[in-house]
A and B are shown apart, each in its own frame.
Chain A
Amino acid sequence: MTTLSDPPKSDFRIGMLLSDTRYRSYTFQFIALMAIILSVSYLVSNLLANLDRLGQDLSYEFLGAPAGYDINQQPIPYNSQDTHLRATVVGAMNTLIVAFLACVTATIFGVIAGVLRLSNNWIISKLMSVYVEIFRNIPVLIWLIIIFTITANVFAPIAEFRIPRDGSDPARTLIFGVMAFTNQGVFVPRLTFDAGGMFVFWTFIASIIGIFVYKSYVKKHLFATGKELPFWLPALAILVVPTLVMYLVLGRPVGVQLPEMGRFRFEGGLQLRTSFIALWFALSIYTGAFIAENVRAGILAISKGQTEAAAALGIRPGRIMSLVVLPQALRVIIPPLISQYLNITKNSSLAIAVGYMDLTGTLGGITLNQTGRAIECVLLLMLFYLTISLLISLFMNWYNNSVKLKER
């Protein structure tokens, strides 16, 4: 005969805090919480004691004070009488500019090198391996300084572009009449916007969006009816026609200003300073080597059977690439590519080594040294980079979810 007994009553005993797995995690977390609170309060008390000893406080009022220093690259108007806050914003914009441009060029370098490394031409693939290995295994800071030194020492001084007094031809002239490589930077034409120029610019942006809209319409039409609409010609028309019409209707408000040699220096045009060129190029070529490896891995990851299967279905070679191989390769390539973009953004802080005035140069460099507000400046600096990183990570998660294989 069996007797049913009640399950043992779970009286709570103190010992169960350690021995019972149900409660043990609370014990550990409590201990951890205490440890965190203790160490944080220890650090904060040290901080307060140190601040008190030095007669300092924590405040962000210095951001409103005049900065008193110049920034040599100003995407928005700025002079030395503006506030530290404005200097910070200028620095942040400079960071974003160089990071964005470097992402674009690094991708181009990386894709070219990655594809060429798989080329069946022995010399080319070996050259690309040498490029990738050399750039990946030497610190980016050294590359940055080398490229900066080269641009500052190997390019011609501006004086050589000057027209001599006797009216003879200068030692050097502009390349194609539009560009000049000098030891103070590269001079390129700049776009000038008169009244109404912004309308042309926004029309152009709208046209680019229009192309994407048209592309999705073409795709929808193809899926609905099985008929393929022409894409490239209409896309070209969408890109050019509205902008051109706007440009002519508004009376040609957008012009190109070429750099011209004045008496002592170049006037007009856009000066890309040596520090900017060096940082841009160093980040691009260094990260390009990493991207090349990602691209190569992505292409190698697609098995040959995919290409052969598509060919067996009678798909044309060009479409095999665009419809079968690339979408699968991109799924492998894009996540590491985005983390390389993240690395570029973070590495752009090396600007301080060559004097490019990015956020680290303004907020973390001169503002910090002038005001002595080390904690506040470094905290702001970190928050800026952290925000960018988190935004890029969010985008990456969204992308990963959207390309995830949909399995049923």
Chain B
Amino acid sequence: MAQDHSTAFVRTQEIPPAPPPPGETGAVHWIKTNLISSVPNAIATAVGIYVVYWLLSGLIPWIVNGTWVTNNIRECREVLAGSGGGCFSVLTERYAQMLFGFEYPSEFYWRPSLAFALLFFAVPPALFPMYLPRWMLIATGLYPFVAFWLIWGGTILTPIGALAGVMVGYYAFTKLDKYGFAAALGGGVVGAWVVWQAFGMIAGGMPGFIALEAVESRNMGGFMLNMILGVVCVSLSIPLGIVLALGRQSSMPLIKIVCVVFIEFVRGVPLITLLFVANVVLAYFFPPDSNIDLILRVIIMITMFSAAYIAEVIRGGLAALPTGQYEAADSLGLNYAQAMRLIILPQALKISIPGIVNVAVGLFKDTTLVSVISMFDLVGMIRGPILSSTDWAGVYWETWAFACILFFVVCFGISKYSQWLEGQLRTDRH
């Protein structure tokens, strides 16, 4: 039966969405759902607001009323006269000591500062390879040599020689690669070693050739020492960690046992005991007439420490790869070195990067432990020369707040980068 549709109303346009009812949007609704949705929630809000008020009521007068220009704590107390302000003059007076230590020559402060500034050119190409052109990685590669020269000084021949050794070694490695990995590695090491020896002799003969005045390692201190230890030890421990992780996965029992024992031993003891080793034990194992300075011994031990942790992270990455990847490499006829370099490690390292960054952050925080073996890093400087000086004894809030801010900025920055990178590396997203 036919119906008459002639009078039917057919809407030709969509109805525009109606605004949500009042009370379901805006600040009022947000407060209702997020702050006072129920009685316990409202109580929690009140407690939270009180905590924030309590923190700010102490913090704001401390910062606003603070003084920055006095010469010692007694003048500070007179100027502040109980206003609750902070005595930040200790920072203006002693910031250089906190950053560079008290023995680094003050006329050369520009050198570590420049090295630190250059870090911002050297690091981004490695951290953000997806946004920056590849050739900028040259800056990253050159940075260690430039930074070494700036901080430690001496003739420019030393870093140039080191760089030349690395380049010759790399060249030999690529040329010999067709004869197998072992041959190439051996050739590279020998090539680098020969160049280093040669440049060592030249540099020894011409110590004044384009030289910056040399600064002894034991004069390094302050936050600079934390940065040096953190950067050097993490960079050195990544290759070592890869080797240890591969060794732990190896089918050769002897290699495997050695790696497992090393990793588990280092992971099982606190870093402090390893620093004790660096301080009082390690010297026993060097030849009797050698004189290796404390900072180098500490670098050796911290590198071993972080290598063990990085090895575990990379092992996780290796284990997370599907077996098919290993089998595919085998079926292509690749040998072990080729399979690892071309197939396995690029993928495993990619998975491990966030873990490695976490280890790096932890390690950077742990560099403060060197103050226990009486090295004057940031913590050592504050506890020692600054807080025990007659001028600034008792200015602990301001000095420790400064230390907290420095560490927080660096560590928080790195961990945010790690989270961002994790998102970038997630290839299974659609």
Chain A residues packing against B (C-beta within 8 Å): 25, 28-29, 32-33, 36, 43, 46-47, 49-51, 53, 119-124, 127, 133-134, 136-142, 145-146, 149, 153, 346-347, 349-350, 352-353, 360, 364, 368, 374-375, 378, 381-382, 385-386, 389-390, 393
Contacts and interface: CB of A to CB of B under 8 A. Distances in A.
Nearest to B410: A137
B115 interface: no
Interface stretch (B13-21, B81-89, B277-285): B277-285
B41 A120 contact: yes
Interface in B250-289: 251-255, 258, 264-265, 267-273, 276-277, 280-281, 283-288
A64 to B, nearest CB: 22
B51 A137 contact: no
Interface string B231-248: 000000000000000000
Interface stretch (B99-107, B188-196, B366-374): B366-374
Given A43-B285, A53-B288, A120-B41, A139 B365 contact: yes
B354 to A, nearest CB: 14
Given A137-B412, A349-B270, A124 B44 contact: yes
Contacts of A53: 288
In this complex, the member of B270, B288, B411 whose beta carbon has the largest number of chain A beta carbons within 10 angstroms is: B270
B255 A138 contact: no
B268 A386 contact: yes
A350 B369 contact: yes
Nearest to A139: B365
Given A123-B49, A389-B267, A50 B273 contact: no
B268 A378 contact: no
Contact of A141 (B49, B276, B369): B369
Contacts of B52: 123, 127
A352 B272 contact: yes
Given A28-B255, A32-B258, A53-B288, A121 B41 contact: yes
B283 to A, nearest CB: 7
In this complex, the member of A137, A149, A353, A364 whose beta carbon has the largest number of chain B beta carbons within 10 angstroms is: A137
A62 to B, nearest CB: 15
B223 to A, nearest CB: 12
B60 to A, nearest CB: 16
Contacts of A385: 268-270, 273
A381 B277 CA distance: 11
Interface of B: 33-35, 37, 41, 44-45, 47-49, 51-52, 251-255, 258, 264-265, 267-273, 276-277, 280-281, 283-288, 361, 365-366, 368-369, 371-372, 379, 383, 394, 396, 400, 403-404, 407-408, 411-412, 415
Nearest to B365: A139
Dominant secondary structure at the A interface: helix
A349 B400 contact: no
Dominant secondary structure at the B interface: helix
A352 B269 contact: no
B379 A145 contact: yes
A127 B51 contact: yes
In this complex, the member of B35, B280, B371, B383 whose beta carbon has the largest number of chain A beta carbons within 10 angstroms is: B280
B412 A133 contact: yes
A386 B265 contact: yes
Contacts of A146: 396, 400, 404
A346 B362 CA distance: 14
A46 B45 CA distance: 66
Contacts of B273: 349, 360, 364, 378, 381-382, 385
Contacts of A140: 365
Nearest to A137: B411
Given A137-B407, A139-B407, A389-B267, A374 B34 contact: no
A347 B255 CA distance: 31
Contact of B284 (A46, A121, A137, A350): A46
14 contacts: A29-B254, A50-B283, A120-B33, A124-B47, A134-B408, A137-B361, A141-B372, A145-B383, A149-B400, A153-B394, A346-B270, A349-B270, A349-B273, A378-B273
Nearest to B401: A146
Q: Which 3 A-B pairs have the closest CB atoms?
A: A123-B48, A389-B268, A137-B411
Contact of A124 (B48, B286, B369): B48
A142 B281 CA distance: 26
Contact of B368 (A127, A141, A347): A141
A386 B267 CA distance: 8
Given A49-B287, A136-B411, A137-B415, 4 more contacts: A29-B253, A137-B361, A346-B271, A378-B273
Contact of A119 (B44, B255, B283): B44
Nearest to B47: A124
Contact of A142 (B51, B264, B271, B403): B403
B258 to A, nearest CB: 7
B35 A50 contact: no
B34 A120 contact: yes
Contacts of A393: 264, 268
B176 to A, nearest CB: 16
A374 B281 contact: yes
A374 B284 CA distance: 10
Contact of A36 (B33, B44, B258, B281): B258
A346 B269 contact: yes
B255 A378 contact: no
A105 B47 CA distance: 22
B427 to A, nearest CB: 21
Given A138-B365, A389-B267, A350 B396 contact: no
Contacts of A149: 396, 400
A50 B286 CA distance: 8
A384 to B, nearest CB: 9
A347 B411 CA distance: 19
A390 B288 CA distance: 35
Contacts of A386: 265, 268-269
A385 B287 CA distance: 29
B368 A364 contact: no
Contacts of B283: 50
Contacts of A123: 35, 44-45, 48-49, 52
Nearest to A141: B368
Given A43-B285, A141-B369, A347 B268 contact: no
Contacts of B267: 389
Given A141-B379, A364-B273, A353 B372 contact: yes
B379 A347 contact: no
A139 B229 CA distance: 15
A382 to B, nearest CB: 5
Nearest to A44: B285
Nearest to A372: B280
B268 A50 contact: no
Contacts of B271: 346
